[in-house]
Amino acid sequence: MLDKIAQNTSIPVVHFALSDAGNIGHVYINTKRDTLLSDYYMYLTQESVVNDDVSGWLKRESKYNLDLIRIGEGCHSKTMRLGDDVISTHTGIAASIIKSALARDLNNTVYLSYVNIEYDGQVFTERYSVPYFFSCKCSNNDEWQIRIPDSLLKKIQREAKIAGKKEVGGYLMGNIDVKHKTVYVLHQFKPDDSKQRSSKLRLGTKGWREEYLKVKERSAGMLDYIGDWHSHPSGSLEMSTTDILTNYAIKTEEIPSDYGLCIITNSSTTAAYLLAPGIKIYIVEE
């Protein structure tokens, strides 16, 4: 809904909400229309891997079922159990942020205001600039798209450039939104023990399990294993027969979601392939 509104206006669009039983308020300021509201939350999910405050928020939020905010119909509803003092604190902070934002040119920004986290009366606010998310359709299914922070995509392409004529690859973690047919790629891990050749790659496993468990735990399960990426140093970025067989074996045996992703790249161009459920691979021997 908010994304549709943003597309039809030239003024900044602001989303303000409370979460974590009222302990955290978040203000999303959108000034660049190529950024979706979901990009904001997915960026924060990525940030949780290295940020203790964001990680703690996601972990606490994941434990709520019917929390104290969600059962209230509004600030003055009889079912609203959140104190007026907490609501006033967050709305005051949000009003100050919005007033300041409208007075100057801002990039897409997230503000998280924390109240009573470590002790009663504690208040602090953190600000994050939301990066540009590269987006492209899946080459084998244009109903689906991938969205990946530009810095992460450039890191993958840089690894391909460093590897030169040898194939290189790594594991991908992210979030798959089946309803909106979007795959968010938010983390990659390149093991040191991979076997690299000019037209063949055997992806290593050294450190992968530890990395996987760390990222999944810090993101409260929002980031999970979604597939692999590898480079094609020469030739096209199409999936080879080996790629198809390997990736669908991985999807069946290792990827927890019904869907998965394969990314093939060189140093400047990247293609994405959706690994869909219900696909059967037959090997015909001549």
pLDDT at position 69, please? 41
Q: Are residues 20 and 104 in the same domain?
A: yes
> Can you give the pTM of this predicted structure?
0.88
Return the higher-pLDDT residue of 169 and 101.
Answer: 169
Q: What are 3's two structure tokens?
A: 């994304």
Instruction: Classify residue 284: in a domain, yes or no.
Output: no
Q: How far apart are CA 176 and CA 185, in angstroms?
A: 9
Return the closest-CA partner of residue 45 out of 185, 209, 179, 180.
185
Residue pair 26/111 in contact (Cβ under 8 Å)? The answer is yes
Residue pair 27/14 in contact (Cβ under 8 Å)? The answer is yes
* pLDDT tens track for 189-220: 999 998 988 778 889 999 999 999 999 999 99
Instruction: Classify residue 285: in a domain, yes or no.
Output: no
Domain boundary among 71, 96, 129: 129
Q: Which residues partner with 229 through β-bridges?
A: 170, 263
Lowest mean pLDDT among 5-9, 131-135, 147-151: 5-9
Residue 232 is part of a domain; what is its CATH number?
3.40.140.10
Q: Are residues 111 and 217 in the same domain?
A: no
Q: With pLDDT > 90 as the criterion, what percentage of the chain qualifies? A: 62
**DSSP tag of 22:** G
Residue pair 244/262 in contact (Cβ under 8 Å)? The answer is no
Domain containing 105: what range? 2-129
Task: Determine the average pLDDT of the residues in 239-251.
Answer: 91
Task: Determine the average pLDDT of the residues in 67-75.
Answer: 43
Domain boundary among 129, 149, 178: 129
User: Which helix (H) or strand (E) segment is 223 a member of?
Assistant: none
Q: Are residues 143 and 267 in the same domain?
A: yes
pLDDT at position 73, please? 40
Residue pair 246/167 in contact (Cβ under 8 Å)? The answer is no
Count of the separate structural domains present in the chain: 2
Helices (H) and strands (E) in the chain, counts: 7, 13
Return the closest-CA partner of residue 43 out of 32, 35, 53.
35
Cα of first residue to Cα of last residue in the chain, in angstroms, is 54
φ and ψ at residue 98, rounded to 5 degrees: -65, -45
- DSSP line for 109-147: EEEEEEESSSSTT-EEEEEEEPPPEEEEEETTEEEEEEE
* pLDDT tens track for 127-147: 999 999 999 999 999 999 999
Q: Are residues 146 and 124 in the same domain?
A: no
